[in-house]
Amino acid sequence: MGMPIEITIEDYKNTKIFNEVFNFFKYVDQKFSTYKTSSEVSIFNQGKIKLKDTSDDFKKIYKLCQKSIKYTFGFFNPSNKGYYDPSGLVKGWAINEASNIIKKSGSKIYYINAGGDVQTSGKLWKIGIKNPFKQTENIKIINIKDSGLATSGNYERGMHIYNPQNNFKKADDIASITVIAKDVYLADIYSTAAFAIGLKGINLIEMTKGLEGYQIDKSGIATETSGFSKYLCLN
Amino acid sequence: MNNQKKYILSGLVLVSFVGYAFFIRHQENEADESRVIAPKISATNLPTMMRGNNMMSNKQYKNGVYISSVTDAIYGPLQIEVTISDGKISGVKFLKYPNDRDRSIQINTQAMPYLKQEAIAAQIAKVDIVSGATQTSLAFREAMTSVLLQAK
């Protein structure tokens, strides 16, 4: 996955838990990183291994991807330039699994932050949503407890990058969308799908029960779902 | 029938007719091309992921209006209607959605005007965690697989 991972456990029983969780993320990276030519995903994409011969976790992710395509009507799609790329789902799944590892160790008050996708537990944690145009800045502060949060966006593009010749891209592009769900696995899939939809992505979040969202368009205007404001309060 | 009843009846017919005409015109504005009801999506024609095949090419899709089957979006039913113009997605409409909101919601191809909007502004309070996107593949933008399979 190639991203920074931050784990905070307030009520840890033993420092071993941190190594256990980091090792799990290393395992996920080695298996699913599209940047590593030796990963199982890369080998699969190179045609060197058939689906039936892949590992259990690889098959599990593959099946989860198929389900996700269905319930997001293909807006979530594990594909990148014609190759299988489940990254949009793997990250949330991995955080969810790591969260279960921590829970099993007996801790309750923690958060996991893997590249901006977050799972919180046990108490209210204060989260800042980055300004997609100025990454040293937060433009929204929210408080979440026992929920997951994921942000999809593309920071490669600045505020004025759209092709006037391509009306489709101009009309529909957004800078980022943040989704809050009961668990980060769902937040990840839906933020990925909503980003793929573009300007109407926030509609998908508004219309799906159990999700709230905060979308920022290319001109710096944010649109929030009707229940989003509950995360601005400290209770 | 006395005159009063006649006028009321005429009035009702007129209102209904105007309402119906408005509805039809509204519908026509949504679709450039003829309306096509797509076959239901069953488990057998779910998209499969093909290794090495270019799923994400700049394909042209047949113009039309396509309606998906009603699907379980985990928390409730979801159904969308997609309009293809000039071979590309030009509109998305949500026909069915999990209804946990107090008011009924009508969605069109514009961003919903009644959702709260604000200009973003820097917040300086201390936080525990920062959430932002990492590089997200632009390829996801092209994905409308289940509906576009019908539009090939």
Would you write out chain A's pLDDT as a tens digit for each of its 235 residues? 457 789 999 999 999 999 999 999 999 999 999 889 999 999 999 999 999 999 999 999 999 998 888 777 677 778 877 889 998 889 889 999 999 999 999 999 999 998 888 999 999 999 999 998 888 899 999 999 999 999 988 764 433 333 333 333 444 578 999 999 998 988 988 888 888 778 888 888 887 878 999 999 988 999 999 899 999 977 6
Comparing B47-56, B69-78, B129-138, the range with the smallest average pLDDT is B47-56
What is the share, in percent, of chain B residues with pLDDT greater than 70?
A: 21
3-state secondary structure of A155: coil
pLDDT score of B138: 29
Q: Which two tokens stand for residue B19?
A: 């309402």
pLDDT score of A122: 96
Instruction: Provide the pLDDT confidence category of residue B32 given band limits of 50, 70 and 90.
Output: very low
**What one-character DSSP code corresponds to residue B55?**
T
Query: Hey, are the CB atoms on B138 and A153 less than 8 Å from each other?
Result: no
Q: Which two tokens stand for residue B45?
A: 């024609």
Please give the residue that has the higher pLDDT: either A146 or B50.
Answer: A146
CA angle A154, A160, A163 (to 5 degrees): 90
Name the residue type at position A37: T
Residue B108 has pLDDT above 50, yes or no: no
Is residue B96 within 8 Å of residue A208, measured between CB atoms? no
Interface of B with A in 50-89 (CB under 8 A): 51-57, 68, 71-76, 78, 80, 88-89
Beta-carbon-side half-sphere exposure of residue A27 (alpha carbons within 13 Å): 13
> d(Cα A127, Cα A114) in Å, to the nearest integer?
13
Interface of B with A in 21-50 (CB under 8 A): 41, 46-49
* Helix (H) and strand (E) counts in chain B: 2, 6
> d(Cα A2, Cα A235) in Å, to the nearest integer?
35
Torsion of CA A23, A3, A119, A78, to 10 degrees: -100
Q: In chain A, what residues touch B74 (CB-CB under 8 Å)?
A: 71, 186, 208, 210
Instruction: Provide the pLDDT confidence category of residue B113 given band limits of 50, 70 and 90.
Output: low
Query: Hey, are the CB atoms on B131 and A223 less than 8 Å from each other?
Result: no
Q: In chain A, what residues touch B131 (CB-CB under 8 Å)?
A: 113, 116-118, 127-130, 149-151, 178
pLDDT score of A101: 97
Phi-psi region of B31 (alpha: psi -120 to 50; beta: other; left: phi over 0): beta
> d(Cα A194, Cα A164) in Å, to the nearest integer?
23
> Does B95 reach chain A within 8 Å, measured CB to CB?
no
pLDDT score of A129: 94
Predicted complex ipTM:
0.79
Residue for token digits 């931050």? Answer: A6
CB burial of residue A144 (10 Å; 0-12, 13-18, 19+): buried
Name the residue type at position B148: L
Query: Hey, are the CB atoms on B94 and A198 less than 8 Å from each other?
Result: no
pLDDT score of B34: 31
Comparing A128-142, A186-200, B24-38, B127-141, the range with the smallest average pLDDT is B24-38
| A79 vs B55, B101, B129: nearest CB | B55
Is residue A214 within 8 Å of residue B117, measured between CB atoms? no
Nearest-CA residue of chain B relative to A195? B141
Residue B131 has pLDDT above 50, yes or no: yes
Is residue A114 within 8 Å of residue A152, measured between CB atoms? no
Q: Which two tokens stand for residue B36?
A: 């096509």
pTM tops 0.90, yes or no? no
What is the share, in percent, of chain B residues with pLDDT greater than 90?
A: 5
Q: How far is CA B12 from CA A63, A180, A217, B32, B56, in A?
A: 55, 48, 45, 32, 53
> Does A204 reach chain B within 8 Å, measured CB to CB?
yes
> d(Cα B1, Cα B116) in Å, to the nearest integer?
53
Instruction: Provide the pLDDT confidence category of residue B61 given band limits of 50, 70 and 90.
Output: low
Region B93-105: mean pLDDT is 50
| B121 vs A47, A139, A202: nearest CB | A139
Q: What are phi and psi of A201, to 5 degrees?
A: -60, -40
> d(Cα B152, Cα B60) in Å, to the nearest integer?
8
Region B93-112: mean pLDDT is 47
Q: What are phi and psi of A222, to 5 degrees?
A: -100, 140
When scoring A203, A212, A231, A233 by the number of chain B Cβ atoms within 10 A, the one with the most, hence best to mutate, is A203
